[in-house]
Amino acid sequence: MALWGGRFTEEPADAVFALSRSVHFDWRLAPYDLRSSLAHLAVLESSQLLTADVAAKIRKALQELMSEVADGTFTYNDTDEDVHSALERGLSEKLGDIGGSLRAGRSRNDQVATDLRLYAIDAMLETSTLIIALQSALMAKAAEYSNAPSVGFTHMQHAQPVLFGHEIAKHVHAFNRDLDRIDDWLNRSSVSPLGSGALSGSSLPLSPEATATALGFKRSAGNSIDGVSDRDFVAEALFLISLVGVHLSRIGEEWCIWATTEFGWADVADAYSTGSSIMPQKRNPDVLELIRGRTARVTAAVPQLLMLLKGLPMAYNRDLQEDKLGVFAALDALRPCLELAPSMIAGAELQRQRIESRLEDGFLDATALMEYLIKRGVPMRTGHETVGRLVAHCEARSCRLADLPLSELQEACSLIREDVRDVLGAANANRALQSFGSGGAQSVEAQVEAWRGRLAGG
């Protein structure tokens, strides 16, 4: 079972082996380990450290292992310590002693760092694809409600009127920053540690640059100690997916609120709701809550990894074996949420009338009226006070700003004219929103159009 050979006279104690063992969680790296073994083999062969004959045998055995790992006919057993030793056992079972030749010039330290990079790159590419699908679903929903007037909130209080499409489209912008960050991460993390060996590189005539290229990396590690000990790419990836989780969780929270009896704005489809074991009438937005809740598991991986790294001498230390648990847990927690979110959003329906019925509550047009005054030459501070007084006046009389006769408005400010009617009422106040990126019609249409093109790959 032990790989470290002649130096030892005893096998490790069972408890030590159990503590050491990682194969039950790092086995998912097996396809990447085999890929990097093939790249390493090519370099051993081209530098004549292995004969063509031996290399061909090893190549064939590695390829067989690849399909056996994929279809489950080869897997780890109770005596395997980690993914690397399990696969080396597989090779030796096929080839006898020559199976061990592949170990020349590499160590599990550079192997595991390489495997984890390859795995993380695939996982982040998959995350990007899922994000794009989610953006498409969000934009389709935004288009569906692009002309639906809605209450916009700050502090969860009625603030200004926006179109509902704007509310939904905002998430597409947030996810786009996630995509940008992933792109940036992909570029920075595309570094191959293979060839760094245990820490120092090798005296053998290897070509880390060639293995890097063969594995699709942009570069090879410029410092072998950094190569085996750098886990920045993991820390960054965890932060990136945490932010994706946070963005998803904020959607979950909003839709939970919108689905309350008090709001009654959104209906989540039955397939995405659950009942109660005791209350027959219940239809709970558990899916949204689980999306929100799971984000805790994703974000927890960031401090976990930073704590692992912070006191670690910057070379390979066995602590690093623990890095993978958080990565796998975080990705496994996030993936199903990202996968189901698009269809949940596609199936959600908004109660337009219910939303509209609250549009005239809470003086959503007050800011538009103040901006009307500013356009008439009133200093902002004065305009703010004037509209504030008018709001208090309306509250005392239980009416809306639009209900006030022109004479009362003019009493508050003599510069007000009949055209003030154009900004009073939530619909008018919304129509008055003109600026780039605003919650008005032009901006929302522009967002829907722009994203339609971008999401279609245009």
- The residues that touch ligand ARG, with contacts defined as CB under 6 A, are 22, 26, 82, 108-109, 112, 316, 318, 320-321
Q: Where are the alpha helices (DSSP H) in 149-279?
A: 164-189, 208-214, 224-229, 232-258
- CB crowding 273-292: b at 16 or more within 10 Å, else e: beeeeeeeeeeebbbbbbbb
- The minimum distance between CB 107 and ligand ARG, in angstroms, equals 7
Residue with tokens 């939530």: 426
**3-state class (DSSP) for residue 259:** coil
The helix (run of H) or strand (run of E) holding residue 383 is: helix 380-397
Shortest spacing between CB 136 and ligand ARG, in angstroms:
37
Residue (55 or 118) nearer to ligand ARG, CB: 118
Closest distance of CB 316 from ligand ARG, Å: 6
For residues 433 and 443, give the distance between their C-alpha atoms in angstroms, rounded to a whole number: 9
The two three-digit tokens of residue 194, written as one number:
């293979």
CA 381 to chain centre: 42
Nearer to ligand ARG, 26 or 254 (CB): 26
- Number of neighbours of residue 232 by Cβ within 10 angstroms: 14
Task: Enumerate the β-bridge partners of residue 266.
Answer: 350
Residue pair 454/396 in contact by the 8 Å Cβ criterion: no
CB of 326 to ligand ARG, least distance (A): 13
Parallel, antiparallel, or unpaired for β 266-267 and 149-154?
Answer: unpaired
Question: How many C-beta atoms surround the C-beta of residue 452 within 10 A?
Answer: 14
What span, in angstroms and rounded, lies between the C-alpha atoms of 369 and 445?
24
- Cβ proximity to ligand ARG: between 132 and 325 the closer is 325
Among candidate residues 24, 67, 200, 276, the one labeled active-site is 276
Q: Which of 155, 398, 407, 414 is catalytic?
A: 155
Q: What is the nearest approach in angstroms of ligand ARG to the Cβ of residue 87?
A: 12
CB of 297 to ligand ARG, least distance (A): 21
Q: Helix, strand, or coil here: 158?
A: strand
Nearer to ligand ARG, 234 or 429 (CB): 234
Question: Does the annotation count 393 as an active-site position?
Answer: no
**Residue 273 appears among annotated catalytic residues:** no
Q: Which residues are catalytic?
A: 155, 276
